[in-house]
C-alpha cells in the first residue's frame, strides 16, 4: 500500500459519496437511541482501476492530518494509517463479489475535513466500496454498501453505530436506529444549516469508548438520557415534516445540552454554540462524536444568516454553507 509513481491509466470506475451532519442522537445512537441525520453536499471521490503491477495500491489526495488535542500537534506520518480503511473496504468488496483478483489501484479525494464530525471516513469508505464494485462491473445495492462499510468503520471507530455510513450511502435525511433500521424521510423543505468547524479535530473511537464506559457506570442516569434523546429524535422528525423551524431549533438546543451533560462537548464548542444563538440562530449544537469538530446552526432568514456567519468568523470558526444531498453514493 503506497503512492504509485507510475503514470495512472484512465480510471475504470469512480464513485462519489456525501458527508453528513447529525440533527439529533449523536453519541446516544451507539447506546440504542434513534438518531436523525442529513447527507450534505461535501464530498469524497474515489477512482478505481486495475493495477498492472499486481498488488493493491492505495493513494489519497487528502490532508491526512488530525490534531492531537493533548499535544496540539499533527502528524502526517502517524495518520498514513487513514489509508488502511480504504484497503479494508476494497478487500471486503472483492470478497463480497467473490473476486480472487486483487489487482486494483485506488485514489481518494476528499473535501470533507478529517476528524471534524462530518462523516469523512464513512464517506470515503462508502465511495471506495461503490468504486471497487463498479471496477468489477458490479452494481451494489445501498443496503449492501452499508453492511460492507462496517469492516473499515470498525477498524477506525471500534464499535460504530452505522449512522454515518447509512447517511452517506442513502443520502437525504434519515432516521436511524442500531443495528440497521434506516428510514428515509420525505421532507419537502430541508432545514437550512450552517456548519462551523472549531478547528480542533479528534478521534471518534476514543470518544465513543469513553461514553460507553460512562454509561455502564451511570446506568440510571443514562437510561433517563436515552429516553429523552429518543423523544427528541422523534420530535425532530415531526418538526421536519411540519416545517416547524422554531421547534426544530429548540430540540437542537436541548440535544446539545444533553451532549454537554455526558461530557462530549468542550468549552470551545459551547462558545460557538452560544455565539450562534446570540446572533440569531434558531438552534445550534455540536454534530458528531464531540470533543472538537463542528457545530451546526439552524438559520432560516438570509439577513440573520449573515449575522451568524460574521459572529462565528470573529471566533475564528471555518464556515461551510451546506445543503442536503438527496442521492447518497453514486
| Residue 300 falls in the annotated catalytic set | no
Contacts of 178 (CB under 8 A, 6+ apart): 29, 30, 32, 161, 162
Residue in 266, 323, 327, 324 with CA at minimum distance from that of residue 295: 266
**DSSP state for residue 324 in the 8-state scheme:** B
Alpha helical stretches, state H, 66-161: 84-96, 120-135, 142-148, 150-157
Residue in 64, 109, 75, 20 with CA at minimum distance from that of residue 294: 20
Kindly list the distances between the CA atom of residue 165 and the CA atoms of 76, 232, 241, in Å, as whole numbers in the listed order. 25, 22, 23
Cell of 131: 468504486
Rounded Cα–Cα distance for residues 90 and 94 (Å): 6
Cell of 26: 449523536
In degrees to the nearest 10, what's the CA dihedral of 42, 303, 26, 173? -60
Q: Which residue has the cell 498514513?
A: 80
Kindly list the distances between the CA atom of residue 24 and the CA atoms of 1, 236, 243, in Å, as whole numbers in the listed order. 38, 7, 16
Active-site option among 164, 244, 301, 321? 164
Helix (H) or strand (E) holding 314: helix 302-314
Rounded Cα–Cα distance for residues 277 and 124 (Å): 32
Please count the other Cβ atoms lying within 10 Å of the Cβ belonging to residue 20: 31
Rounded Cα–Cα distance for residues 146 and 97 (Å): 15
20 and 38 Cβ atoms separated by less than 8 Å: yes
49 and 11 Cβ atoms separated by less than 8 Å: yes
**Residues tagged active-site:** 164
Amino acid at each position: 500500500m503506497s503512492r504509485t509513481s507510475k503514470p495512472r491509466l484512465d480510471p475504470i470506475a469512480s464513485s462519489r459519496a456525501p458527508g453528513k451532519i447529525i440533527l439529533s442522537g449523536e453519541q446516544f445512537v451507539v447506546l440504542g437511541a434513534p438518531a436523525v441525520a442529513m447527507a450534505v453536499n461535501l464530498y469524497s471521490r474515489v477512482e478505481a482501476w486495475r493495477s498492472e503491477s499486481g498488488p493493491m495500491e492505495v493513494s489519497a489526495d487528502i490532508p491526512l492530518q488530525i490534531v492531537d488535542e493533548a499535544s496540539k500537534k499533527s502528524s502526517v506520518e502517524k495518520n498514513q494509517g487513514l489509508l488502511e480503511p480504504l484497503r479494508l473496504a476494497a478487500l471486503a468488496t472483492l470478497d463480497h463479489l467473490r473476486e480472487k483478483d486483487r489487482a486494483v489501484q485506488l485514489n481518494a479525494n476528499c473535501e470533507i475535513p478529517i476528524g471534524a464530525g462530518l462523516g469523512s471516513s464513512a464517506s470515503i469508505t462508502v465511495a471506495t466500496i461503490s468504486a471497487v464494485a463498479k471496477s468489477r462491473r458490479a452494481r451494489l445495492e445501498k443496503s449492501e454498501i452499508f453492511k460492507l462499510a462496517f469492516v473499515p468503520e470498525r477498524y477506525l471507530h471500534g464499535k460504530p453505530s452505522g449512522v454515518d455510513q447509512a447517511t452517506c450511502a442513502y443520502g437525504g435525511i434519515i432516521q436511524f436506529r442500531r443495528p440497521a433500521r434506516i428510514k428515509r424521510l420525505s421532507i419537502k423543505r430541508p432545514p437550512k444549516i450552517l456548519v462551523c468547524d472549531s478547528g480542533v479535530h479528534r478521534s471518534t473511537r476514543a470518544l465513543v469508548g469513553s461514553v460507553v464506559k460512562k454509561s455502564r457506570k451511570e446506568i440510571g442516569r443514562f437510561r433517563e438520557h436515552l429516553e429523552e434523546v429518543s423523544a427528541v429524535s422523534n420530535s425532530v422528525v415531526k418538526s421536519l415534516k411540519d416545517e416547524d423551524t422554531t421547534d426544530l431549533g429548540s430540540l437542537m438546543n436541548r440535544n446539545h445540552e444533553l451532549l454537554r451533560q455526558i461530557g462530549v462537548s468542550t468549552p470551545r464548542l459551547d462558545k460557538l454554540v452560544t455565539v450562534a444563538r446570540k446572533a440569531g440562530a434558531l438552534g445550534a449544537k455540536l454534530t458528531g462524536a464531540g470533543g472538537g469538530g463542528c457545530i451546526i446552526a439552524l438559520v432560516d432568514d438570509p439577513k440573520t444568516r449573515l449575522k451568524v456567519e460574521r459572529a462565528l468568523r470573529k471566533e475564528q470558526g471555518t464556515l461551510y454553507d451546506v445543503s442536503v444531498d438527496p442521492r447518497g453514493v453514486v
